[in-house]
Amino acid sequence: MNQEKIEKYRGLGLKMTPQRLAILEYLEGNKSHPSAEDIYRHVRSQFPSMSFATVYNTLEALKERGLVQELHIDPSKKRFDPDTSPHNHLICLGCHKIIDIFTTPPMNSIPQEELQGYKLISAQVVLYGLCPECQEKEAQQKD
């Protein structure tokens, strides 16, 4: 991670430890929508003595500063997305892979009358389907 990014995180009040840097590097550009457990397993290979609490606390600090978004799409565990731009997700019902879907117009452009007085804080559409690999497996099982 370059010094400019490190200074950006420090400027947001994040203490920069080697473990936290490893977490940030893992998240940077990550499109897999990892859970805290996924991140912990990856970073622990570099820092065997690191605790799960370090990962969880770092994710909470990043979430509070708007640097990651917590996804509520997997009832068994929280997932995190370092892409905080407005977008939706498509989940494969076979392998559970999650991909980003960028729609136009974004969901936050819903007409006010349809919101029935609600103040929209955030919006996300979750689409479900089968990825090409799972479609192929399904087709092979039918043959």
Question: What is the tens place of the pLDDT at every residue in 73-131?
Answer: 888 888 999 999 888 899 999 999 999 998 766 565 678 888 888 887 777 788 999 99
**Contact, 127 vs 101, CB < 8 A?**
yes
Q: Is the pLDDT score of 8 beyond 90?
A: no
pLDDT at res. 104: 66
Q: Residue 14 pLDDT > 80, yes or no?
A: yes
Sketch the domain layout of the chain as residue ranges: 3-80, 85-142
Q: What is the pLDDT of residue 98?
A: 93
pTM (predicted TM-score):
0.81
Burial class of residue 85, CB neighbours in 10 A (0-12, 13-18, 19+): exposed
Third-level CATH fold of 85-142: Dna Ligase; domain 1 (3.30.1490)
Mean pLDDT of 35-56: 95
Known binding site: residues?
Answer: 92, 95, 131, 134
Distances (CA, A) of 91 to 5, 21, 26, 35, 99: 31, 29, 21, 15, 7
The annotation places the binding site for Zn(2+) at 92, 95, 131, 134
Is 135 or 108 the better-scoring residue by pLDDT?
135
The per-residue pLDDT of the chain, averaged, comes to 89
What CATH fold (topology level) applies to the domain 3-80? Arc Repressor Mutant, subunit A (1.10.10)
